Structure 1
């Protein structure tokens, strides 16, 4: 290199890819050659055909010594790559995890709030990579924690909460200014909602300790409590209830926490919600009570629990269907037994075009054991429905009866 320079070689010559000698020396880590070329006044800011500068290439490779040489020689640390991402040297160093290079660039007053072509801030990139050291350094330097991604509207805290990165959440919460209740663009999701959905107990605990709003709902009016309940995250349900979550909030769909928990068979969640004074007879949009939903899904333990809490076993939904009717329809004999013993009215007909009673629907569905239980409860064997069909022993003959 020295001999060629003495022979008046062009110090800024570019090859087919547009790479200069100082670029090639930088990317390969040849510090002595970089130093020599700088002394000969090589242009440290000539980019190649991909818009990559020598300092960017050195930052990507984590060659801190060369970054130092280039910065001292006047390298522009704010030149963004002309690729699909559009990172600056600090951004690529963060994404590649080169902490010493990051330190040098920050010392040179690199812009900590730069946003790349994807609309991602440097802090968001560090958070996405799960790199706590990077997050700490950026927060300490004053990076804006509330810069949201252009497309989805995620902030670093939301991403960390979603990924369950407890240590990073702690780091972000140290920031002087942070919106703990920031909502994403489309789903309107808060960090608490994202952590609750993912089952990240420690993150939920941190956020509630910092007094986040536990009742901010997502699009569709789904609360953090509701999403935790849907996924059976009982520890999170406990934390949210203790933090003041409203247990009777109704979603846009008409669903309520207790009803969904009962329908999904999450008995621990049901117990916790009942302890928190959830309305045992709350109705969803269709008029279904928790005991109705547990009955139709065959969750006997939950039906038993709701009965013990004095749930009304005779509340019909908007179609006039009672819990005992729906249990008879599905052949849930054990649940029919529980409901009958709790005072279910086995003579309540459905308010549909047929108007069957529980015995009638059990016969039509062929559920012999359910029919037996209803007959034992003195169901009316001569009932006639709306279409003039009547219950007759010609339709159903008990196994121990001879004709």
Structure 2
């Protein structure tokens, strides 16, 4: 017989016999009986708090209930459970982490205040809070999920803007790679370095991949496939000091990356079934990113470890507009890479699938004068 078929009086009698674990489970599943049972279940849970067995003075069964209430934003019930001795900084996951993930900034603030009161301010909350999900802190998960108000609460509580996960990601890396523009702005305002590597602060030189490189490389695809615009994020990173001349493990600059990440042969094959309207948005964002990099001082003739310039990349990957943009910005068309190949040679050797020779002609005739085009 379903619960909905029982009389209200009988339901309340049954609720009085529930354990705290049962109460927690029913609170999560309680939809149709919300008006009748939820207030009674919270009351029942509070009566169970005192006699619970504990280990080391900490009530073990409180943590699952505290997590559920934190996720739902039940601040009064969270207060009752914290008063009963529950910890917000331990568990799997800690309730503070859960509240941060859900964007419940008021509950995050409450939990931090309780922790500081209990430790007389000695144990900083960010140090006491257990990590979860590959070493993510509450600040990491709030940044990843785009909860700006929660991020600000955690930063004001002395959570470090530069702390790393197990794989070396800072909160800024997670915010950028999830296209959380406002959180990116906040983290930069609080001192996050824009010149971090996607692989972490301690990554070896051979494996370097600066965050700005990740943005440039993925801007086209993310715009086309997800509608995420990384241009505002790139502008913020540059405004706060991201190095437009930074090098990755192959000595490539952001402009090298851009020259092979736009409307080139690889992406045309990858996105051949994508509607042209969506691809047009990606092309626009990519062209704006290239223009921004050049405006901010990118070196159009910089060489990577193979002696390649951005023009070599654009010619090889058959990006006509990128070739034109680089030439207009002063790229040298006759320079050879480490293997002795010029942009014209690479364009000719890779003139597929278009087969029009458009880039070869553009490069060969450029010395006549760009006004011709």
Q: What does the per-residue CA deviation read over 1:30-64, in whole Å, with 9 as the maximum and x for residues that have no partner?
A: 49956xxxxxxxxxxxxxxxxxx933433452622
Structure 1: 5+ residue stretches without partners: 1-27, 35-52, 345-403
1:185 is aligned to 166
1:218 is aligned to 198
Structure 2: 5+ residue stretches without partners: 1-10, 28-37, 117-124, 200-206, 220-229, 263-285, 369-373
The 1:244–1:201 alpha-carbon spacing in structure 2 relative to 1, beyond 3 Å, is: same
Q: What does the per-residue CA deviation read over 1:247-267, in whole Å, with 9 as the maximum and x for residues that have no partner?
A: 121112443211111211222
| TM-score normalised by L of structure 1 | 0.65
1:129 is aligned to 102
Alignment pair present for 1:162 and 2:155: no
In 2, Cα distance between equivalents of 1:285 and 1:293: 13
Query: 2:164, 2:170 within 8 Å by CA — same for their partners in 1?
Result: yes
* Larger helix share, 1 or 2: 2
1:199 is aligned to 179
RMSD (Å), alpha carbons? 2.7
How many Å apart are 1:286 and its aligned residue? 2.8
In 1, Cα distance between equivalents of 2:312 and 2:130: 43
- Superposed, 1:3-402 pairs within 5 Å as 30=13, 33=16, 54-60=19-25, 61=27, 63-71=41-49, 73-76=50-53, 78-80=58-60, 87-95=63-71, 97-116=73-92, 120-142=93-115, 144-145=125-126, 147=129, 149=131, 152-175=134-157, 177-186=158-167, 188-219=168-199, 220-232=207-219, 233-265=230-262, 266-331=286-351, 333-343=357-367
Q: What does the per-residue CA deviation read over 1:67-105, in whole Å, with 9 as the maximum and x for residues that have no partner?
A: 23233x533574435xxxx94442343345543321111
Query: 1:225, 1:257 within 8 Å by CA — same for their partners in 2?
Result: yes
How many Å apart are 1:151 and its aligned residue? 5.5
Q: Considering Cα pairs closer than 8 Å and 6+ residues apart, tell me whether 1 or 2 has the greater RCO.
A: 2
Aligned to 2:293, the other structure's residue is in SS state helix
How many Å apart are 1:29 and its aligned residue? 5.2
Q: Matched residue pairs, number?
A: 289
In 1, Cα distance between equivalents of 2:114 and 2:213: 38
After the TM superposition, list the runs of 4 or more consecutive aligned residues in structure 1 that deviate by more than 6 angstroms. none
Query: 2:63, 2:95 within 8 Å by CA — same for their partners in 1?
Result: no
Give 1 or 2 for the bigger CA radius of gyration.
Answer: 1
Query: 1:31, 1:66 within 8 Å by CA — same for their partners in 2?
Result: no
| TM-score normalised by L of structure 2 | 0.69
How many Å apart are 1:310 and its aligned residue? 0.9
Aligned to 1:215, the other structure's residue is in SS state coil
The 1:113–1:32 alpha-carbon spacing in structure 2 relative to 1, beyond 3 Å, is: closer
